[in-house]
Amino acid sequence: MKQILTLALGLALSPALASAQQSTVNVKIDWGKVVTTSRSTASYQVVVNPMLERGAKMHDGTFKAIATAGADYVRYVPWLPYPRLGVAELEPPTPEKTSWDFTLLDPMVEDLMKAQNGHSVIMNFSTMPAWMWKTDKPVTYPKDPNQVYWDYTQGTEIKDPTYKEAAAYYARLLSWYEKGGFTDENGKFHASKYHYKFAYWELLNEIDFEHHWTPQEYTKFYDVVSAEMRKVDPDLKFMACASAAPATHGEMYRYFLDPKNHAPGVSIDFVTYHFYATPPADEPFDAMQFTFFDQADGFLHTARYIEQLKHELSPATKTDLDELGVILANDDKSNHGEKMPPEPPLYWNLASAMYAYLYEEAAKFGVDVIGESQLVGYPTQYPSVSMMNYNTSEPNARFWTMKLILDNLGPGDKLVSTSGGDHAIAAQAFDTAKGRKILLINKRQTTATVNLPAGSSVRSIAYTAPSTGDKPPATATPSSSTLSLEPFEVAIVTLGN
| Predicted confidence (pLDDT) at residue 85 exceeds the cutoff of 60 | yes
Q: Which residue in 211, 224, 238 sits closest to 169, CA to CA? A: 224
- The pLDDT, as a whole number, for residue 40 is 98
| Predicted confidence (pLDDT) at residue 15 exceeds the cutoff of 50 | no
Query: Confidence class of residue 286 from pLDDT cuts 50, 70 and 90?
Result: very high
Q: What share of the chain is helix, strand, coil (3-state, %, to 5)?
A: 30, 25, 45
Query: Confidence class of residue 463 from pLDDT cuts 50, 70 and 90?
Result: very high
The answer to whether residues 148 and 282 belong to one domain is yes
Sequence-separated (6 or more) residues with CB below 8 Å from residue 14:
286, 445
Query: Confidence class of residue 3 from pLDDT cuts 50, 70 and 90?
Result: very low
The answer to whether residues 404 and 436 belong to one domain is no
Q: Which domain holds residue 466?
A: 2-37+415-495
- The pLDDT, as a whole number, for residue 497 is 72
Full-model pTM: 0.95
The answer to whether residues 12 and 151 belong to one domain is no
pLDDT averaged over every residue in the chain = 95
| Predicted confidence (pLDDT) at residue 234 exceeds the cutoff of 70 | yes
The answer to whether residues 452 and 350 belong to one domain is no
Mean pLDDT, residues 401-429 taken together? 97
Q: Which of 376, 394, 410 is the last residue of a domain?
A: 410
Query: Confidence class of residue 6 from pLDDT cuts 50, 70 and 90?
Result: very low
Sequence-separated (6 or more) residues with CB below 8 Å from residue 57:
51, 393
The answer to whether residues 369 and 470 belong to one domain is no
Number of domains in the chain: 2
User: For 34-80, what is each residue's pLDDT tens digit?
Assistant: 999 999 999 999 999 999 999 999 999 999 999 999 999 999 999 99
Mean pLDDT, residues 274-296 taken together? 97
The answer to whether residues 60 and 205 belong to one domain is yes
How many Cβ atoms from other residues are within 10 Å of residue 236's Cβ? Answer: 18
The answer to whether residues 191 and 259 belong to one domain is yes
- The pLDDT, as a whole number, for residue 479 is 87
Mean pLDDT, residues 281-296 taken together? 97
Mean pLDDT, residues 474-497 taken together? 95
The answer to whether residues 160 and 308 belong to one domain is yes
Percent of the chain past pLDDT 70, that is, above it, reads 96
The DSSP line for 307-332 is HHHHHHH-TT-EEEEEEEEE--THHH
The answer to whether residues 237 and 144 belong to one domain is yes
Distance CA(496)–CA(292), nearest Å, equals 34
Q: Which of 361, 389, 410 is the last residue of a domain?
A: 410
- The pLDDT, as a whole number, for residue 112 is 98
Mean pLDDT, residues 356-375 taken together? 98
Distance of CA 152 to CAs 66, 140, 203, 338, 378, Å?
A: 29, 7, 18, 21, 21
Q: What is the largest CA-CA distance in the chain?
A: 78
- The pLDDT, as a whole number, for residue 21 is 63
Instruction: Using the Cα atoms of residue 83, residue 87, residue 93 and residue 97 in order, give the sign of their dihedral.
Output: positive
Q: What is the DSSP letter of 368?
A: S
CATH code, 486: 2.60.40.1180
| Predicted confidence (pLDDT) at residue 12 exceeds the cutoff of 80 | no
Q: Which of 394, 410, 426 is the last residue of a domain?
A: 410
The answer to whether residues 335 and 380 belong to one domain is yes
CATH code, 134: 3.20.20.80
| Predicted confidence (pLDDT) at residue 429 exceeds the cutoff of 50 | yes
The answer to whether residues 369 and 424 belong to one domain is no
Mean pLDDT, residues 78-104 taken together? 97
Distance of CA 348 to CAs 26, 231, 427, Å?
A: 27, 44, 21
Mean pLDDT, residues 117-130 taken together? 98
The answer to whether residues 8 and 151 belong to one domain is no
| Predicted confidence (pLDDT) at residue 200 exceeds the cutoff of 80 | yes
Distance CA(115)–CA(94), nearest Å, equals 38
- The pLDDT, as a whole number, for residue 11 is 34
